[in-house]
Amino acid sequence: MREQLLNLLQLQTFDTKVKELQAAATNLPAKLDPLRRDLAKLQGMLNTEKTKLAETENWRKGHQDMIDQDRMSMKMAQGKLQASKNTKEFSAASREVENKKKSIGDREGELKKVSESVTASTTQLTARDADVQKLRDELAASEGAMGGQIAELDAQLVEAKAARDAARGSVEKSLLKTYDSLVGKRGYAVAPVVKGTCQGCHMALPPQLNNILARMTGIETCPRCGRLIYRKELLEEPVVTPAAAPAAAEAPPAAVAEAPEE
């Protein structure tokens, strides 16, 4: 039974390693989400400002066209003024010329204000464009660097899965079935017993069960959490433990560590 316990602990170690690597590979890209959100927000603001600037530009062009039409009308009115044959025609033509001058002056004043606003907006948009591009470059660089990290995690994951599969082959089928069921229900299957207490659920075991564990004639289960249990002090041989994954997940108790309380 000692060998099977060691095999189970080794399998649990590799299982934990696989889970940690999978979690790290999944969570790593999410670290760039704040940068992606900032870029999307800034790009949205920039697009809105560009749309408004385009609308203003269209208004300015339309306004300039009206000024040009007023100037043509004023020339025609000036022609009428010069060709007037009596006081009535002269007065009418004079009023038309003055009205056109006033209209042109008013429109030019509005156009000047809008043109100044367009110039300021264009300068501001140029700066915003530079900010967006800088953020986009930063995101691209981060994604490039992260791609290498993810590739490394994937390579480690392949190795860890191969080691886990090999470890599964060393566990008896009946125990493996129980192990898989416990992993699905409890997260991990094997817990040490320290000073008569299950480290999976921190329940004090009945003295008789603790004595049975001391004989190591079989692999017992905790009456409360159902995990496979063993007397920690009876396993003196170290369990082979893989290197820690880049992003640590909550790990089950190893042969030399106490388990967290449920």
CATH 1.10.287.1490 fits 2-23+167-234, yes or no: yes
The domains spanning 2-23+167-234 and 29-162 adopt the same CATH topology: yes
The predicted pLDDT at position 121 comes to: 87
Give, for 231, the enclosing helix (H) or strand (E): strand 228-231
The predicted pLDDT at position 230 comes to: 95
* pLDDT per position as a tens digit, 172-225: 999 999 999 999 999 999 999 999 999 999 999 999 999 999 999 989 999 999
Is the pLDDT assigned to residue 251 strictly greater than 70? no
Q: Among the CATH numbers 3.40.50.1820, 1.10.3710.10, 1.10.287.1490, 3.40.50.300, which is that of 29-162?
A: 1.10.287.1490
Question: Is residue 221 within 8 Å of residue 229, measured between CB atoms?
Answer: yes
Is the pLDDT assigned to residue 34 strictly greater than 50? yes
2-27 and 87-169 helices, crossing angle to 10°? 170
Nearest to 63 by CA among 105, 102, 117, 108: 108
β-sheet bridge partners, residue 221:
228
Question: Is residue 165 within 8 Å of residue 11, measured between CB atoms?
Answer: no
The predicted pLDDT at position 16 comes to: 95
Nearest to 125 by CA among 233, 65, 46: 46
Is the pLDDT assigned to residue 250 strictly greater than 70? no
Outline where DSSP puts E strands in 91-209. Answer: 190-194, 197-198
Mean pLDDT of 156-173: 95
